[in-house]
Structure 1
Amino acid sequence: MKKIFLITFILIFLGTSAFAAGETSLVKAQIISLKETVSGQMKEQLVKVRVLEGIYINEEIDIKYIPVEYSESNFELRKGMNVFISVNTNDDKLQANIMNISREDHLKTLAIIFIIAVTIFGRFTGIFSVTALGISGFIILKFMIPMILKGENPVIVSVACSILIILISFIFVSGFSKKSFASILGTAGGTIIAGILALIFTDLCVITGLADEDTTLLVTQMGITMDYRGLYFSGVLIGTIGVVMDVGMSITSFIFELKNTSPCIGFFKLMRSGLIVGKDIIATMVNTLVLAYAGSSIPLLLLFYKSTTPVNQIISMEIVSAEIIRSLCGSIGLILTIPLTSFIASVMAEKE
């Protein structure tokens, strides 16, 4: 089992790295010295960097960097920091511009801390959970996104990938058992309900899928054309899966554990107990789902708070309506997962 886990884990991350890697005009460099000057009200930084990769590796280049206030280019550079630079030659002299901060090393460290924490406290279940997470990312990166980019229907692709993610995740965590099968059915049912509602209200509210600035970037700068409404639907579905899976497994585990400790308990009592636990879950999980969406939209909420535009007009803006549909459809799918999972798990536990 350990060998299978290690091989799977290595393949997942090798595949993900291969997907992420590709030709780029940017190269990584390290800041070896930095001097700050002020010209009028403009702050400049004279930076010397050493190139860490590519054909100019180990070359040292002087760069004048001007932070752009209130933008993504307002970096606080420090000696020893890694950055991405664009390099070109002019009269046989190397010139470069700082394009971005290299953040992947810090993010890898954070990911390692996450994996260690899950492994320590979750043991084998935690290890399998991380593996399932890696496979989910692999499915999204290697299958879902490429198929959508090839022009396949985003709705069909996202539904198929969502069901595949649910199957693999529960099988990795609980193995081939009645408990995992009940969780799979309940979670898939809740996710499908959320998806159907998202499709209906995306159509009723005439959501184009182009209000998001990331989607606009695909159109304006990369020239990618696809079914953007379907792409928005895919985001709703993938965003719903995580919370719905959590609820499905929690309800199923409780019902099967209750049956193990009290073998004489019948179907109706199991079902009722599952619904009672589900009520407690609903309050926190719905808040989690809605607050997660709201938290990612704080700047937008501040903008509307300061706006004098009437509330009905604000709600009718696509960027707001799309987030409302996303959060409410996910929440409804979550709520309906509870009775559905309770029923399926109670039936299977009773038979067992």
Structure 2
Amino acid sequence: MTEPTTRRAARGVRRLDEPEAVHGHAHGPAAPATRRVRLTLTALLVPLLLATLAGLVALWPAASDVPARIPVAAEGSTVLRATVTGPVDEETSSVLARLDDGSRAGGQDVGGDEITVQAPPEYLAYGFDEGDRLRVLFIAGAEAGGGTPFVFLDFERGLPIGILAAAYALVVLAVARWRGLAALAGLAGAFAVIGWFTLPALLTGQDALGVALVTSSLVMFVVLYVAHGFTARTSTALLGTLVGLALTALLGSWGSGASNITGLTSEESLWIPQYAPAIDIQGVVLCGLVLAGMGVLNDVTITQASAVWELRAVAPLATRAELFTRAMRIGRDHIASTVYTIAFAYVGAALPLLMAVYLSDQSLATSLTSGEIAEEVVRTLVGSIGLVLAIPITTAIAAVAVPGAASSAPGPQPEQAAETATGEVAEPRGR
């Protein structure tokens, strides 16, 4: 016969099936993972890390193979900065502006000069306001034909974007503090990997699937451990993330091939091969498909691993099967919300394209399976399948790795070890 609930409750121990177990404020934190679990996770992750580093070395592009940078301006032309000072002249398709101090064009100092900037009709329709910052191209010899040598390139957005980036960093630091700083450092490391390895490797024609797996694996090792600490909980989430990425890569390889996703759906994909002949555009699509799933996978795997550990903390006597079942309830809610999160993110990013599809006189099925939309549909579906599969996999790994019922204390005692903010255990003084 089982022990009465009231007797267990009097000792501060409840099972997950008792109504008040979720409050559990009388229980201490779950004990750290056992030595066997830590060794097992290490034995699984270290070979994966070594394989990632070996792939990094094997796929690292030779500097001589990386295509030369494409000049923004032709020889004799110069990119300058200017500020709008006057109204738009629709008859001449131009706007008045003043060049920044220190500007030089055609070998002469033109800083502070008032100039007329030629602009495309669509930008004139958008409108220019006084004080707008512009990037303009000086074309040597254009004035000989009676026109202005200054042509509008784009708006200068450095300052407002810099302000937004600084505000984002400050908000993250204010709310998440040291954990937020670690996350920002991990993000910087991820972009360093992509900038120094991924992009040059793809441009030199390295195997795109290998580049995708090496990049995603290395980024996840860096981001997860830097942001969440070297704990069994983080290792569990990392293992689930890597499995999810592998499944995404396999599904993406089949899906992009079976759907004949060529990647030739944007202006950039058409002209880049002229400057990087070795590039595999279809492989670039596959690589992008895998990289697109990294962020969301990281989110759900960390959430599931943390859910299992927190459930163990409030229910020390729960079985591993109970932990898995309860954590999967959280996972199902996460799946439900993530499904439309991914879809809405694409809708927001591709709204002009969707409007063009709406105006086209063809069936919805034809629109969703053609061109650029088909590419995004495959990316979304493959990423979502990998995401959904990663949740039960990570939850199962966490349920096995979390301390067992016998190793979880029923309540906090002064002489017990306390779990630190990083998830490690600080032994009491005097021992």
- Shorter-chain TM-score bucket reads 0.7 to 0.9
Change (3 A) 1:27 1:339: same
The residue number in structure 2 matching 1:47 is 97
**What's the Cα RMSD here?**
2.6
CA offsets per residue over residues 112-131 of structure 1, 9 Å max, x none? 00000000001111111111
Larger helix fraction of residues: 1
Q: Percent identity?
A: 22
**Letter of the 2:333 counterpart:** D
CA offsets per residue over residues 249-307 of structure 1, 9 Å max, x none? 01111111121232222211111111110011011111111221222221121112122
Count of residues in Structure 1 that have an aligned counterpart in Structure 2: 328
- Whether the 8 Å contact between 1:255 and 1:349 is mirrored in structure 2 is yes
Change (3 A) 1:82 1:346: same
- Whether the 8 Å contact between 1:27 and 1:53 is mirrored in structure 2 is no
Q: Distance in 2 between matches of 1:32 and 1:258?
A: 60
The residue number in structure 2 matching 1:164 is 218
Change (3 A) 1:276 1:98: same
1:123 aligns with 2:173: no
**Letter of the 2:314 counterpart:** T
Structure 2 residue aligned with 1:243, among 296, 299, 307?
296
- Whether the 8 Å contact between 2:118 and 2:152 is mirrored in structure 1 is no
1:60 aligns with 2:105: no
Q: Distance in 2 between matches of 1:51 and 1:97?
A: 18
CA offsets per residue over residues 27-75 of structure 1, 9 Å max, x none? 3423263243343xx653233323555676662344333443446x756
Greater relative contact order (CA < 8 Å, ≥ 6 in sequence):
2
129-138 or 313-322, larger mean C-alpha shift: 313-322
1:80 aligns with 2:134: no
Change (3 A) 1:313 1:166: same
Q: Distance in 2 between matches of 1:339 and 1:57?
A: 65
- The equivalences for 1:1-352 within 5 A come to 24-25=72-73, 26-31=78-83, 33-39=85-91, 43-52=93-102, 59-70=111-122, 76-90=127-141, 95-219=149-273, 222=275, 224-350=277-403
**Letter of the 2:345 counterpart:** A
**How does the TM-score come out when normalised to structure 1?**
0.85
Change (3 A) 1:63 1:287: same
- 1:47 aligned counterpart, secondary structure: strand
**Letter of the 1:343 counterpart:** A
Q: Distance in 2 between matches of 1:190 and 1:91?
A: 56
Structure 1 unaligned regions, length at least 5: 1-20
Q: How far did 1:170 drift?
A: 0.8
Structure 2 unaligned regions, length at least 5: 1-68, 408-431
Change (3 A) 1:57 1:256: farther
Q: Distance in 2 between matches of 1:24 and 1:301?
A: 31
**Letter of the 2:226 counterpart:** F
Change (3 A) 1:59 1:52: closer
Q: How far did 1:80 drift?
A: 3.3
Question: Which of the pair has more CA radius of gyration?
Answer: 2
259-268 or 62-71, larger mean C-alpha shift: 62-71
Change (3 A) 1:91 1:225: closer
- 1:100 aligned counterpart, secondary structure: strand
**Letter of the 2:187 counterpart:** L
Q: Distance in 2 between matches of 1:67 and 1:108?
A: 26
Q: Distance in 2 between matches of 1:248 and 1:137?
A: 21
- 2:100 aligned counterpart, secondary structure: strand
- 2:344 aligned counterpart, secondary structure: helix
CA offsets per residue over residues 76-98 of structure 1, 9 Å max, x none? 33333332122244499994222
- 1:350 aligned counterpart, secondary structure: coil
Q: How far did 1:225 drift?
A: 4.3
- Whether the 8 Å contact between 1:118 and 1:126 is mirrored in structure 2 is yes
CA offsets per residue over residues 119-163 of structure 1, 9 Å max, x none? 000111111111111111111111110111122112111110100
The residue number in structure 2 matching 1:17 is none
